[in-house]
Structure formats: C-alpha cells, structure tokens
A and B are shown apart, each in its own frame.
Chain A
Amino acid sequence: MTYTQMILVLLNGFKVTVWVTLISTVMGGIFSFAFGIGKMSRFWPVRIISDGYIEIFRGTSLLVQLFWLFYALPLLGVSLSPMSAGIWALSLNIGAYGAEVVRGAILAVDTGQYEAAKALNFTPSRTLWKVLIPQAVVEMMPPFGNLVVQNMKDSALVSLITLSDLTFKAQTIRNETLQTVPIYVITLLLYFLLALVLTGIMKWLERILTTASGREGVR
C-alpha cells in the first residue's frame, strides 16, 4: 500500500473522528452547564440528580460507560447505533467533568457581585444569567480547552464499539498490510494536528469572550 492510499483511508476515518469530537463536545458543553448549575439549585431533587450524574460519570471509566451504553442498554430495550452510543457516552462523560468546571467558576465569582445583585432585587435566574455567568465564563475557558482535547483523545475509544473512526481505520489497514510504523505514525500525527487546531480554536474563543466581557459588562 502506498503512502498516498494509506493517508486517503486514514483521512476517511479522520472525518468520523472530527465529527464525533465536535458533536460530543457541544453536547458535553450543554451537559456541563445544565448539571453544573443544577448542582447549585435551590431544589434538592435537582441537586441530587446532578450530583449523582457527576459522581457516576466521573467515578467510572469512560470505556465502561461506552460498553454499558452499547452492550447493556439494549437489554433494557434501548438499542443505540455505534455512532449514537459513542456520542452519548463521550458527551455524558465530558459533561460530568465540565459540570465541575462550570460550578467552580460560578462559585469563584466575587461574592460582592452576588450581594449587589441581591441588593438590587434581581431574581435568582437574572443574577445567574446576567451577573454571575458572564463573569464566570471567561474563567471556564482554560479548563474547557483541556477538556476539549481530552474529549478528542477519548473519541478514539469509539473504535472499540466498531465505529470506523481514525483509530479503527488504522487498525483495519494494519491488519491488511502489516505496515505498522507508518500507519501509526500518520495516525498519531493526525490526532496531534487535531489537538493543536482545537487548542487554537479554544484560545481564540477565550480571547473573544475576554474582550466581550470587558467591554459590555452587565447590562
């Protein structure tokens, strides 16, 4: 197999890796906010659900979660395709880590801000969305950047539930050609490249949010 053929096959898998990473990162971001805020809720059932979710998904291994969704869940009557099982497992897992980031950043906002909002008779949701989150979101960006790369790396695990991502393609053509070294070097480089691009995007977002929060403040 020539290097060009090799790269073309690997790029096919790379597309799946990029797709899975992007979707699960966005979904993970939504879970992060939902459960991170949920853990600080005034209503105890919401707190307990959020806390349980965070502890279970942070306390067990991602591969266990992936296998559970793919092999065990059908026995409870819910069958997921490899693609959706992969995306659900990745986003639920990264969302649990993100939830702690969101909570930490909101709690780190100066208490004076919270007291001022209360003194101005803001409702709790207005305080949260107009005062606390706009300031906290800048603090969330560096840890979120790490989580995005972590999620990208974790996406390689979906190859173990037969989804043909980059790692899966690398395994397939290795079994056919036995040209182990070039295949895995190219694969590793593609992952590294993706990580650099994702890090760049997150840095860019961080800069935009920093200027935006500085200029506008609270309206």
Chain B
Amino acid sequence: MLFNIPWNLSSNWTFAWSILPILLIGLEVTIKATIFGFLLALILGLPLALLRAVPFRIISWPTAVLIEFIRDTPLLVQVYFVYYVLPDYGLIFSAFLTGTIALGIQYSAYTAEVYRAGLEAIPQGQWEAAKALSLQTRRIYRDIVIPQAIPRIVPAMGNYLISIIKDTPILSAVTVLEVLNVAKIIGDRTFRYLIPLSMVGGLFLILTVISSVLVRYIERRLPKEGIPLK
C-alpha cells in the first residue's frame, strides 16, 4: 500500500492495474518538477546569456567558464550539492524544491546558449538598419531583434524540455516521490520490480512522445519571419 492505495498481487494483470493509480500520483510530481525546472531554466538562462555577451572580458569570460562548468558536471552531483549545502546556509527547502532548483540551474547553462545563438542569428543588417533609423537600443531589442529571435529559440527550448522530463528521475536520489521512486518503492515492498519499472518506462515513452509531437506542432505554427511583441 502506498498513498493509501492498496495493490492486488493475485495476478500480473491485476497487480499492474492496481498500481497504475499510484504511479500516476508519482507522474504528477514528475510533470510538476519538469514544468518548474523548465521555467526556472528559462529565467536563469537569460541573465547568463546577457552577461556572456557583455563586451568586457572581465565579466564575459568568467560567465563563459561558469556556463561550461554547469554544463560539464553531472546533474546528480549538483542535486546533492544543492540538497546538502543550502541548509548549511540556513536555506531550507523541500526536497522537491531543491530538486527543481538543481534542474533549473543545470538547464540554465543550456538555455543561455540557446538565447545567445538566437540573438546572434539575427542578420547584422537588421542591427545596422535599425541604427541607421536611429532607433533607441531598447526599441531595437523590443521591436526588431527579439521578435525575430523567438522563432529560432523556441524549437531548441522544446528539445530541452523533453530532456528535462527524462532527467527528473534523478530527483529520486534526494527522496522526491516522482514516478520512478514510486515504482522502486512498490518493487522494494512486493519484490516485483519487473512490472512497475516496465510501466514507468512505458509512461516515460508516452510522455516524451506527446511532448515531442507538441513541440513539433508549435515549431510548425511559428511564423518564420518573427512574432511581434505588441
């Protein structure tokens, strides 16, 4: 029994059917962690990308090293780091929040590169034309650069969203009850690992297929010439 839902061990099929609602509770946590982690990565990536693009090397170079460092070290170790180090400084969060913070930090290094590539892909002529019309920098960004960058940024972000889905099981290492952890607990208690773990595999397959179809759909619908912000 888990989350007050009992399981039925009489046959393989009844067992699978009885643990499905338990796994779905775990799946909800997985989806929440994915969404929060993704939003955090979108937010944190922006300042990283901007600092990286600053023309002073004293700022841009350390930022580049930081981005590389976050990208090149394992998410699991970052999760442990956040989980054990933050409480030492009086910041006590739930395991779920700690895990999503770590997810957000890890993927901010990837989103930062996406923002950068998106901005750099805008043809130089666009900048020059805007400057020739003596538009303010703020207006150049708001009305010319960012609207054109969005269609280039969205598909890459979609791919990272799918990666985050597949990385959420790592949060089980710090006791987050996401779907894999739930399946593992069911296995530990019944000594039947095969069915719950295979079901989790199936659930992840469904989740990634749905989200990649969604991402491709949005990608196709995006106007290639840009999205006006007004």
Residues of A within 8 A of B (CB): 55-56, 58-65, 67-68, 71-72, 75-76, 149, 153-157, 159-160, 167, 170-171, 174, 180-181, 184, 187-188, 191-192, 195-196
Contact = CB atoms under 8 A, between A and B. Distances in A.
B193 A75 contact: yes
Contacts of B193: 67, 71-72, 75
B194 A188 contact: no
Interface stretch (B44-52, B130-138, B197-205, B213-221): B197-205
B77 A167 contact: yes
A-B pairs, top 9 by smallest CB distance, nearest first, are A195-B72, A156-B74, A71-B193, A63-B169, A153-B74, A61-B166, A72-B194, A60-B204, A59-B205
Nearest to B87: A180
A181 B35 CA distance: 29
Given A184-B84, A192-B72, 11 more contacts: A56-B201, A58-B208, A63-B180, A68-B201, A72-B198, A149-B72, A184-B77, A184-B80, A191-B73, A191-B77, A192-B69
Nearest to B204: A60
Nearest to A66: B169
A167 B201 contact: no
A195 B169 contact: no
B204 A75 contact: no
B88 interface: yes
A180 B77 CA distance: 12
Nearest to B192: A75
A174 to B, nearest CB: 7
A180 B208 CA distance: 35
Interface of B: 68-69, 71-78, 80-81, 84-85, 88, 165-170, 172-173, 180, 183-184, 187, 192-194, 197-198, 200-201, 204-205, 208-209
Contacts of B200: 64
A191 B187 CA distance: 32
A193 B44 CA distance: 25
Given A59-B208, A67-B197, A159 B76 contact: yes
Contacts of B78: 188
Given A184-B84, A192-B72, A64 B77 contact: no
B72 A64 contact: no
A164 to B, nearest CB: 14
23 contacts: A58-B208, A59-B204, A64-B204, A67-B180, A72-B193, A75-B194, A149-B71, A155-B74, A156-B74, A156-B76, A157-B76, A167-B76, A167-B80, A170-B77, A170-B80, A174-B84, A181-B88, A184-B77, A188-B73, A191-B72, A192-B69, A195-B73, A196-B72
A58 B207 CA distance: 12
